[in-house]
Each structure stands twice: as C-alpha cells, then as structure tokens.
Amino acid sequence: MNNATNSAKSTPRKTRRGSRSHDKRTGAPGQNPHLEVPYIQRKIRTYDLLDETSLEKIEQTADRILAEIGIEFRDDPETVELFRKAGGQVTETKPDCWRIKFPPGMIRECLKTAPAQFTQHARNPKNNVVIGGDAMVFAPSYGSPFVMDLDNGRRYGTITDFQNLIKLGQSSPWLHHSGGTICEPTDIPVNKRHLDMVYAHIKYSDRGFLGSITAPERAEDSITMCRILFGTDFVDKHCVVMGNFNVTSPLVLDGVTTQGIRTYAAANQGSIHVPFLLGGAVSPLTMPGALAQCLAESMTACAITQLTRPGAPVVLGCFLSSLAMRSGSPTFGTPEPALASLVMGQLARRLNIPLRCAGNFSTSKLPDAQAMQQSMMSMMSAVQGGANFILHSAGFLDGLLSMSYEKFVMDTDLCGMLHSYCQGFEVNDDTLAFEALAELGPGQHLFSTAHTMRHYQTAYYDSALDDNQPWEHWTEQGGIDMATRANQRWKQLLADYEAPPIDATIDAELQAFIQDKKDHTPDLWH
Amino acid sequence: MNNATNSAKSTPRKTRRGSRSHDKRTGAPGQNPHLEVPYIQRKIRTYDLLDETSLEKIEQTADRILAEIGIEFRDDPETVELFRKAGGQVTETKPDCWRIKFPPGMIRECLKTAPAQFTQHARNPKNNVVIGGDAMVFAPSYGSPFVMDLDNGRRYGTITDFQNLIKLGQSSPWLHHSGGTICEPTDIPVNKRHLDMVYAHIKYSDRGFLGSITAPERAEDSITMCRILFGTDFVDKHCVVMGNFNVTSPLVLDGVTTQGIRTYAAANQGSIHVPFLLGGAVSPLTMPGALAQCLAESMTACAITQLTRPGAPVVLGCFLSSLAMRSGSPTFGTPEPALASLVMGQLARRLNIPLRCAGNFSTSKLPDAQAMQQSMMSMMSAVQGGANFILHSAGFLDGLLSMSYEKFVMDTDLCGMLHSYCQGFEVNDDTLAFEALAELGPGQHLFSTAHTMRHYQTAYYDSALDDNQPWEHWTEQGGIDMATRANQRWKQLLADYEAPPIDATIDAELQAFIQDKKDHTPDLWH
C-alpha cells in the first residue's frame, strides 16, 4: 500500500547525483546548510483550531452533500461505472451527464486503500520526497498564463520563462519539488506544451515534478517520459510523477479530469485533487460550508484513484479563496481562508490522507508589501495546519494570473525561514543555557560565552534578501527595497545556475520521443 | 484585586462620548462595522507549541536563575528593602548596587496578588479595555527617535509628528489603545516631553494610553495629569494609565526603572515589564534560554508592583529579537522569536498574569515586502500565542528606530484583518450551509442563493489598502503599489480627522498644569 516502504532499497535507472554544492556559497547571505533537507519533517505541533464536535459536523455535512445532493460527472462513462459498481446511485440527467449520489460511508470506504503517505521519487534520489504524515514539501506556483518582472513588466509566459523559473526553483535549497506548469509557455502549441514542460523539469531540475492533466493523452505522455527516465518497471512500482487535478466546483467532475485521474492512478502515479472554492461564487462563503464542500469534492475525486488501482498514491486538496465584496473579484491571502486551511489540516489527518493546501497567495500586482502580507497569512496557515504538499510556495502574484520572478525569490527565502520555523526547538540543558547567564552574571554581554560561540552559526535563519543593516549602511548601499534586491538576486541565480547532469542516452531518448510526438501531431493553439 | 470587577458601574469624571462615526465611511474601502470592538475578545484557541514537560523545564530554569544568579539592583535602596523583607538574600556588591538572590518560589509567591486581568479606563468609557484573559489590545509602536514617510524620508520625530500619529491611531477602529511614546518629540526638551506627550494622548485620542517612565517625577506627572482628567478618587480605584518598563538585561534593574515601577504601582496604575532580549548579546541565543531569562526578569519586575501595592495591575512582558550573524545587528520578525512568542503565551497563562508580547516588527527601512513579511511573522505569533497587550502593532520599521506613516496605516489594516481572524468561525447549520449547495445543485453558481445574500456583507474582511482588482483596472488606476496607497491614505485620514470632544475646564486645567511645570523647570536636552 505504501510506496514509501521500499524506497530506501530502490534506485531509479541510471541517475547521477545533482551538482548543487554549498561550498560555492560560503560567505554570501542566505547560507543555512544546517537547515537543508530534501523535504521538511515537521517537528512543531499543528495548530488545531476546531474541537472534535465541530470537525464531526463538517464531516457529516460532507457526507450529506455526497448522499443527498451528489456529484455530477460528465463525458466519462467508465468512471461512472466504477462508482456504480462500488454502490453509487447513478442517474443520467442528460446525455453523457450523470448525477451520482453516494450512500453514507461509501466514499470513505473507497478511500481505505489510499496510502497515508508515499514517496515521490526524483531522478536524483537525494531529492525523493515523502508526501504525508509529518512531511512537508514546498513546490513553486502553478498555472499562471503571465509572467512579470520589474524590468519587463507583465507579459505572456514563454518556454524560456518556463525554463528560467525551473532553474530558479532548482537553485533554491528551500523548495523540494520542481512543481508543474510553473507558467504557461504560450509560445508552444497548446497540445504540445506538456512535452516541453515535462522535458524542462527533467532537464533543468533533478527534483520531483508534476505532469500534464489537460488531456488524458497528455497525462499519458507525461508518464511515458517518466518511463524513459526511470525505467518502465520502476515507474510501475513507484510514484515518480503526479497530476494536479481541479474539481469543477460546485460538485462537478468533468470527463477530461476523471479520465486524467484514472490515467495517473492506473500507472500507480500520484494525483492531487483540488476544489478551487471561491466563496459566494462556487461554494458557500461561510468557511464551515466551504470546508464541507471541499472535503466532499476532494474525497470523491480521490476515490476514483482507489477504484482504478487500490493503493495508488493520492493527495487531498484544498484551495480556498474569499471574495472582494465590492467587485466580486477573488481575493487571496485573507484571514478567513487562512483559518479554514488550519481546519483542513485537521480533516485530512482524520481521514489519514496527505493534504495539499494553501501557499504563498496574493492578489497584488507587484512584489510589494501587500504581496508578502497576503502570502504570509496564507503560507503560515499551510505550515501551521500541517499541509503535506504546498503548491504555490513561490512566485504567486496577481491572483495566480502572473508568476513573478522577484516574488519567486522572495518566497523561496521565506520558505527557508519556514525550515527553521518547522524545526521548532528542543528544550534541554544546552538550549536552556543556564551556564551562559551564570558565566558572566548580571549586566554582562553574552557575546563571548561558550554557549554563544557554540550556537552562533545556527541559532537563527540567515536571510538571503532581508536587509537588517543599520539605516546608514543601507543608505550607503543605495537604499533599495526588497523588490529591487530580489530583482538582482534572480538574475544572479540564473547567471550562476548549472544544470544537474543527465545521462546522455536518456536525454536523447526523451528528445526523440518529443520530436516524434510533435512531428505526428498538428499544432493546436486553443 | 481585580480592577475589572466594578468597571461597569464606575464612570470617569465629566467625559463625553467620542465623535468617530461610521456613517461617513459608508461605501469607502475598509468598512467592517461588524468587526469593530473596543478590544478583541479572542474566540480562537491559542497555538500551544510546547508540552507540559518542556514548559516546566523553562520555569525551573527561570527559578534557578533567580535563586542562583539573582538580579542586580542599582540606586534604589527602597526596592531592595522591599525584596529583603519578602525574603530576598541581598548582597551589596558595590556602593548603591545590590545583588539579590530569590529563594525558590519567592517571586511566584509575591505575584499571587497580581490580578489575572484588569480594565484600563479610557476617558471615553466606550474605549475601556480589558487586559488579560482572552482579551487582546492593539497599541501603536513605541519609542522611535525617527519618523519617516515616502515624501520626506527619515528625520527626527517632532511633537507635530507625535500628534499626527496619535490622530492616525485614533482614526483607526483596529487599534484599541493610543500607545505611549509613539515617536520621540525631539523638538521638546527631554525633561518636558512627557507633558506634551501625555497631553497629546488626552487631547487627540479618547482611548487609553501609556505614561512616562523615563524618570520617577515624569511618571508622577503622568499620573497627576490623569488625576486632573479622571478625578483623584477615580484614579486611586481604577487603572487609567500604564507605564511600559524595560529591564536592563541581562539581569539588571536600574534605579530609575524600579522607582518608576513603584510610582505607578503605588498609585494603583498599571505597568508592563519587558526584557528586551537580543539573543547572543544580552541573552542566550537559544530560545528556551531566552524564555527562561525573560520569565525570570519580567516576574521580578512585576513582583516590585505587588510588594509596593498588592493587587496593582501588572503585565508580564516579552520582546525577543534575533541577531544578524554577519553584522551583529538586531533582527526582527524572524522565525525563531516568533515561535518563542507562542511559548511565552503559554508561560503567561500558567502564571495567570496578562502578557505583552511581539508586534508588527521589522528591520526594513521602507514599507516594502520585507516590512510586511517580517511584521506578519511576528504579529501572527502575538495573536496566535494569545498575548493580551500588543504594543508595536502599528508603524514599526527600521528595527524600531523609525515610525513610518505608511507602515502605520498598513499595520492598522492588518490589525483589522486580525479582528476577523480572532473571531474564528462557528460551526452550525447556518455556516455549514448545506441548503446553499442544495438550492441550485451541481454546476450552479451560488451568487444568488439566500445564504450568499445573507452573509455577503460580513463574510470577509474588507481591506482598506489591498488591491484585489483585475490587473487591467489596477493599471488604469495608475498601477501603484501598497506603499503609495498607504501614503495617500494617511494623508486622507489626517485631513478627515476630528478630535474627540473634551471638557473645556479639564483641558484648561491640564494646560495650566503643563505650563506651570514648564515655567518652573529649566530645559534639559539630554
């Protein structure tokens, strides 16, 4: 059931170690080698907001939604048939459209085979990530059609942007996963983008990544490319790629989505199931109602994986947004969804399925104060709520419409801070440091105590971007803001970037596969 | 013991209601009348980071510091005598300098008379605040010598800045308290500043405020002015002003401080006792050690109040800072102190004394992304940790050296969001909203459901500063960042400001007192 169990013994085919080395960065700001990990193992408690009774009410409402309202399925009779066999009450409401009501407990029964945690393997085994339990994985933002930076403003994303952003991700020790559609490469035909995107992840990163979900055949191509990279047998036995699927809220799963879900599950690959709940538009605007709906929708999508292949790795998802009451625009990084994210963590743990939740959300159009205020509100809730896979951990601006180069490096620095945060601290004789105070006594600085000398390199996270200098030094150095420093930093990181080595035979095989696909398919632009 | 008990029955002398009315602001952004309260009554659980055993170890270390190292007292034999009588082991280490070691349990015994919560009365009784328990009070930043804004940059604060900032505070519904030294009015002689500062709080705000602590006679003047405002008898029975005292860490209490503490306590007025612990400099840089020291130092300062006048209102304090390892500069808004703030909340609740902790801290020199990222890290911990009095809730920049006009209004908007956050949400049939989803069923928007109509005005906090518009609208409106919006906003708020009415006789009496003091004292400039 659990892909993690035999991960230590297996290694993917022909992989070499990545080249990122720390010694180059000695002396530059942002070095915290003691905090670098392939993924976070959370050592702090979760912030459990609601009591048992309240959680049960939300769960009961989710079950009631499934039993009394049901979920609509479109254009995928196979998925409908899977649910019918499992006990779902199916009504065809119009051609190729079915409403399924699920008897109480049925969906939870389906989910009993879902692993509590699993490992997503990376081509560099040092970058394998555990998803579930106390593990926490940060991945960049996903799905923006636009990119922006301070020099060139906002424009449609291209494959060059896509590659640049993968490189920025790879160069940060504070992300653990390469993400997926890091921006839309709009200069590539819609039906061929996935090939170049998956290739860019493989080529420019040696971490795990997300494959395509925009069509079942693109999902299949993503998995085929992973088979070339990892070997067919390895892929059948291990999770090496995941698909990030959206429910068509409220309460609809369209055929492209459900077919894609089945494609990943059939190949024993991971999938994430995320209702995008914009309160007042596609969900109730009171958080308990949004949570109940989220749970109902995500559980149903998750169940498809288990009916397709019991034990397939699967991730519950939650993406809650509020509404600007004046304009009807979605808002992100606001307090109410932040609280609900904490509760979603509780609900996921009760279900014992890994959770994707929240991220560095913002509606700001610039990497300004609003951007980081909103990001922090949302991201802290992801971490404190114990989410396991945190997509949108870097770059999110403009209500997800734009991937920002500057915000990307701001967010990765914040992700570094959260490595320290998630470590918490141990209370023991050394950290209680009675001797440090006793050594010199009242009124004496502790700069030179043995305790200070012993801990001074690792006590505090060293930020790559924060300016903590006195005002005079800051002024002498140009008096620049964080956005400007971030602009300088991403350019430096791209200049310094070195691709992780890849086996030439595999690389050629991947390129041949892509070329063949491209040659035999006409371009589609929408 | 508890000043809150009879607060409902008593009203201060000759006070009229404040004039701030909400109807003027109808339609403008940032209106959330359903969230306006004189102080927050926290409805969400605290985020309790440490287990019982770890908390006990910190407490035991604090007790050990007090018993084995002790605290140094300077230039105040009266305070030393109070502790000697209570059981302290006093050694005179040099002239006018004593080390006192406290037998285990002695300080905790002294604190048994301290109220678990109390009311600070404001001249407008609607603005009375409870300090302690689940109550949470936001007050502006305190103590910056400089002010800054985007137009005029950084310069020394003046009494005009002081008055402006009091007005900005008063105009925000999301602060509950007028604070104290909102900036240093450096154009007034050092020994007369307190008179103008206290007067500005009384005149331009009708909320509670902090008095002077820089000299015992200035503390006394602050209280005398309150007696003019509230009446002598009222002041003797109620807390109407507080002093914010700093320990001279590590482990020193100087005579000016201890005399000031006794002055407030003798008058039955409140006091806050804050070690400013810069890890590695004046405290251990591991958080458990810093917390133990903080607890030891703050408890000792608190104990002075109870030995002076049992039952006097008192607040435990915590101000933790980390260190930039490269430069030795203090850093604020970093992850390690944020965690420690959560623990300080636990320690204060175990002691059953109100807590002042954290705030909107930042080392940034601009109201930029760094400013709000750091602020959020710190401020969220104050709120989640259950701090009762949160000084530095608005305006803090430049490592507390500067009060920023723009940051002030950004922070107050964030404080508004935290009003919604602290409300949490109730899980009931209405908020679970099953009917809202059932009404139209799968695939149908909820815009027009009865549930949406019922909740749409109050479901989400409406920010005064966040831009949530689509990119196109934002661009058409100038494409400005949050700092620029904040610059526009504070100017508008100052232009719209109306002083709360004050009784002319009292006003004249206050002015006469100030004039008399000024006339009979030579100016001192340092």
Instruction: Specify the pLDDT at position B271.
Output: 98
Count Cβ atoms within 10 A of the Cβ of residue A519 and give its class: 0-12 exposed, 13-18 middle, 19 or more buried. Answer: exposed
Q: Which SS3 state, helix, strand or coil, does residue A273 take?
A: strand
Distance from CA of A15 to the nearest CA of B (A): 36
d(CA B164, CA A365): 30
What are A140-170's pLDDT values in tens digits? Answer: 999 999 999 999 999 999 999 999 999 999 9
Contact A443 B154 (CB under 8 A): no
A415 touches chain B (CB under 8 A): no
Contact A438 B371 (CB under 8 A): no
Instruction: Specify the pLDDT at position B5.
Output: 38
Instruction: For chain A, count helices (H), then strands (E).
Output: 18, 18
Three-state SS annotation for B151-193: CCEEEECCHHHHHHHHHHHHHCCCCCECCCCCCCCCCCCCCCH
- CA dist list (Å): B237 to A113, B227, B312, B398: 66, 11, 10, 39
Contact B280 A444 (CB under 8 A): no
The model's confidence at residue A526, banded by pLDDT at 50, 70 and 90, is confident
- CA dist list (Å): A30 to A237, A416, A419, B189, B370: 38, 9, 13, 44, 15
d(CA A42, CA A383): 9
B418 touches chain A (CB under 8 A): yes
Chain A residues whose beta carbon lies within 8 Å of the beta carbon of residue B468: 324, 327, 329-331, 363, 399
Q: Please, what is the average pLDDT of chain A? A: 94
A46 touches chain B (CB under 8 A): no
Higher pLDDT, B204 or B9: B204
Which of B331, B456, B467 is nearest residue A468 as measured by Cβ atoms? B331
Which of A99, A377, A437 is nearest residue B442 as measured by Cβ atoms? A99
Contact A420 B61 (CB under 8 A): no
Tell which of A431, A447, A490 to mutate to test the B interface (max B CBs under 10 Å). A431
d(CA A9, CA A18): 19
Whether residue B252 is predicted with pLDDT greater than 80 in this model: the reply is yes
The model's confidence at residue B250, banded by pLDDT at 50, 70 and 90, is very high
The residues pairing with B402 across neighbouring beta strands, listed in sequence order, are B146, B397
The model's confidence at residue B27, banded by pLDDT at 50, 70 and 90, is low
* Residue in A68, A135, A16, A83 with CA at minimum distance from that of residue A422: A135
Higher pLDDT, B280 or B21: B280
Here the tokens at position A526 are 């929408």
* ipTM confidence score: 0.94
Spatial contact of A385 and A345, defined as CB atoms under 8 Å apart: yes
What are A243-254's pLDDT values in tens digits? Answer: 999 999 999 999
Residue at B326: amino acid letter: R
Spatial contact of B192 and B223, defined as CB atoms under 8 Å apart: no
Instruction: Specify the pLDDT at position A2.
Output: 39
Chain B residues whose beta carbon lies within 8 Å of the beta carbon of residue A490: none
Whether residue A66 is predicted with pLDDT greater than 60 in this model: the reply is yes
- Average pLDDT for B255-273: 98
Whether residue B11 is predicted with pLDDT greater than 70 in this model: the reply is no
A525 touches chain B (CB under 8 A): no
Spatial contact of A395 and A141, defined as CB atoms under 8 Å apart: yes
Contact A289 B437 (CB under 8 A): yes
- Average pLDDT for A485-490: 98
Domains along chain B?
A: 107-423 (3.20.20.480)
Residue at B404: amino acid letter: S
A104 touches chain B (CB under 8 A): no
Tell which of B253, B285, B378, B449 to mutate to test the A interface (max A CBs under 10 Å). B285
Instruction: Specify the pLDDT at position B22.
Output: 33
Whether residue A300 is predicted with pLDDT greater than 60 in this model: the reply is yes
* Residue in A524, A518, A526 with CA at minimum distance from that of residue A196: A518
A457 touches chain B (CB under 8 A): yes
How many CB contacts within 8 angstroms connect chain A with chain B?
Answer: 403
Contact B64 A434 (CB under 8 A): yes
| Cβ-proximal residues to A62 (8 Å cutoff; 6+ apart), any chain | A292, A293, A295, A296, A299
Distance from CA of B480 to the nearest CA of A (A): 9
* Residue in A464, A365, A472 with CA at minimum distance from that of residue A411: A464
Which residue does chain B place closest to A62, by CA atoms? B434
Output A485-491 pairs: Cβ under 8 A, ≥24 positions apart: A486/A367, A486/A405, A486/A406, A486/A407, A486/A409, A486/A410, A486/B369, A487/A149, A487/A150, A487/A151, A487/A405, A487/A406, A489/A409, A489/A464, A489/A465, A490/A149, A490/A168, A490/A405, A490/A406, A490/A408, A490/A409
Whether residue A220 is predicted with pLDDT greater than 60 in this model: the reply is yes
Task: Decide the pairing of beta strands A389-390 and A135-138.
Answer: parallel
Spatial contact of A369 and A381, defined as CB atoms under 8 Å apart: no
B10 touches chain A (CB under 8 A): no
Degrees to nearest 5, angle at CA A246 with A245 and A250: 150
Contact A466 B331 (CB under 8 A): yes
CB count in 10 Å sphere of residue B439: 16
Chain A residues whose beta carbon lies within 8 Å of the beta carbon of residue B57: 427-428, 432
What are A86-117's pLDDT values in tens digits? Answer: 999 999 999 999 999 999 999 999 999 999 99
- Average pLDDT for B471-499: 97
What are B179-222's pLDDT values in tens digits? Answer: 999 999 999 999 999 999 999 999 999 999 999 999 999 999 99
Tell me what percent of the residues of chain A surpass a pLDDT of 90: 92
Chain A residues whose beta carbon lies within 8 Å of the beta carbon of residue B69: 437-438, 441-442
What are B299-314's pLDDT values in tens digits? Answer: 999 999 999 999 999 9
Give, to the nearest 10 degrees, the angle between helix A216-230 and helix A193-204.
30
Whether residue B16 is predicted with pLDDT greater than 80 in this model: the reply is no
What are A200-210's pLDDT values in tens digits? Answer: 999 999 999 99
Q: Which SS3 state, helix, strand or coil, does residue B457 take?
A: coil
* Residue with tokens 């369209």, as numbered in its chain: A254
Chain A residues whose beta carbon lies within 8 Å of the beta carbon of residue B287: 425, 431
Whether residue A439 is predicted with pLDDT greater than 90 in this model: the reply is yes
**Rg of the Cα atoms in chain A:** 23
- Average pLDDT for A255-259: 98
Contact B49 A50 (CB under 8 A): no
d(CA A439, CA B69): 10
Contact A437 B251 (CB under 8 A): yes
Q: A232-243 as b/e, with b when 16 or more CB fall inside 10 Å?
A: eebbeebbbbbb
Instruction: Specify the pLDDT at position A27.
Output: 66
Which residue does chain A place closest to B68, by CA atoms? A438
Contact B335 A71 (CB under 8 A): no
Least confident of A282-286, A326-330, B238-242: A326-330
**Which uninterrupted H or E stretch holds B129?**
strand B129-132
The model's confidence at residue A11, banded by pLDDT at 50, 70 and 90, is very low
| Cβ-proximal residues to B275 (8 Å cutoff; 6+ apart), any chain | B246, B247, B249, B283, B293, B294, B297, B298, B317, B318, B319
Which of B325, B462, B468 is nearest residue A460 as measured by Cβ atoms? B325
- Average pLDDT for A386-392: 98
Q: B221-232 as b/e, with b when 16 or more CB fall inside 10 Å?
A: bbbbbbbbbbbe
Here the tokens at position B374 are 């750091």
Which residue does chain A place closest to B452, by CA atoms? A280
d(CA A365, CA A374): 12
DSSP secondary structure string for all residues of A95-112: TTEEEEE--TTHHHHHGG
What are B464-474's pLDDT values in tens digits? Answer: 999 999 999 99
Contact B483 A368 (CB under 8 A): yes
Spatial contact of B446 and A282, defined as CB atoms under 8 Å apart: yes
A contact residues 322-351, partner B, Cβ 8 Å cutoff? 322-327, 329-331, 334-336, 338-340
- CA dist list (Å): B500 to A381, B170, B226, B231, B249: 39, 9, 17, 19, 40
Which residue does chain B place closest to A56, by CA atoms? B427
Contact B471 A402 (CB under 8 A): yes
- Average pLDDT for B233-261: 98
